[in-house]
Structure 1
């Protein structure tokens, strides 16, 4: 798959995660909170979103500077948590 196709795949994943995050947050506000399992899932979704956005940034930067975007890798949650880009 080419770099653009892979980026599109990452963007599709981001879109799905954003939709799930919104659904959980809406459920939380309607039901005055989430159960433990839903809270854990929301946290996991937030971490995955941070990782996906970071990976996409890495890939775009590598492409921009003539490097192979496929060399970009998902970084551990501790490195990307709360990243403000």
Structure 2
């Protein structure tokens, strides 16, 4: 996984958003990890019967502490500040 877009601080909404790019190998690892943590299996094998390039983006939000925003680590990670209504970050 890699962070492919600038981290954005949506000041009116009060959160910092980052986008992570997830490729096919990452997706298999995420699914396997989830199944092993949340189900009673001894072994998990992920099988892709439809080979193709899968590129997903995960939008990850961290809400900023409204009482002390300047000390919030998430805000310090933001590279761009956006005011106004949230646009879905398309």
Structure with more of its chain in helix, by fraction: 1
Larger Rg: 2
Query: TM-score normalised to the size of structure 2?
Result: 0.29
Query: TM-score normalised to the size of structure 1?
Result: 0.31
Task: Kindly indicate whether structure 1 or structure 2 has the higher relative contact order, using CA contacts under 8 Å at least 6 residues apart.
Answer: 2
Structure with more of its chain in strand, by fraction: 2
